[in-house]
Amino acid sequence: MKRSFLMILAAVAAGALFAGLVHAVLVAAHVSEPAGPTVYGLTPRRVWATTAAGLALVGVVVGGLALARPGSRLGIASGPFGAILALMVGLIGAVNGGLNVAIATGGPGTGNGVVGGAAAVVLGLVAAAIGGLALSRSRRTALALARMM
């Protein structure tokens, strides 16, 4: 019971931290004010931002798997390949999200995809950090295995 409560509390805290970081990116880009006329539906920039955020989220997942299994030879997301993949995908997502936010002419609701772009920046940087950590751990694991032989 205690463990479940702590996991739920940690998930809520992580969600709040994510929302705060996305808002901080929007404030830093000076696009945090909502638009007067709201645009509904998909626009090309919203699709671009959603794709970048999805790519960055894939990087977070792959980086987490590589971090959990640094020396495993099984699976596509394990070892140094998964770490490098997470690092590259995270950087691609962060750059695309940053470009989307940089060229936006309005805030949330304008159809420019600024919220998705800000989410891509945050998730991309998290994926790059996790990928870098997993890469350093996989190298240490490889060195330790080489010493044992």
Mean pLDDT computed over 36-49: 83
Give the residue extent of every domain in the chain.
Answer: 2-148
pLDDT category at 49 given cuts 50, 70, 90 is very high
The answer on pLDDT for 56 being more than 90 is yes
Q: What pLDDT does 54 receive?
A: 94
Q: In this structure, are residues 101 and 118 in contact, taking their beta carbons and an 8 Å threshold?
A: yes
Between CA 145 and CA 149 the distance in angstroms is 7
Q: Sorting pLDDT into bands at 50, 70 and 90, what band is 147?
A: low
Query: pLDDT category, 40, cuts 50, 70, 90?
Result: confident
- Residue 103 to residues 20, 29, 72, 110, 111: CA-CA distances in angstroms? 22, 10, 42, 13, 12
In one-letter notation, the amino acid at residue 82 is G
What pLDDT was estimated at residue 30? 74
Condensed to tens digits (0 to 9), the pLDDT of residues 62-118 reads 988 888 876 655 566 667 888 899 999 999 999 999 999 988 887 787 888 888 999
In terms of pLDDT, which residue wins out, 53 or 79? 53
Token duo for residue 129? 């950090």
Q: For residue range 7-28, list pLDDT tens digits in order.
A: 888 888 888 888 888 888 888 8
- Name, in order, each residue with C-beta under 8 angstroms of 135's C-beta and a sequence gap of 6 or more: 66, 80, 83, 84, 87
DSSP letter assigned to residue 105 = -
Non-local CB neighbours of 73 within 8 Å, separated by 6+ positions: 79
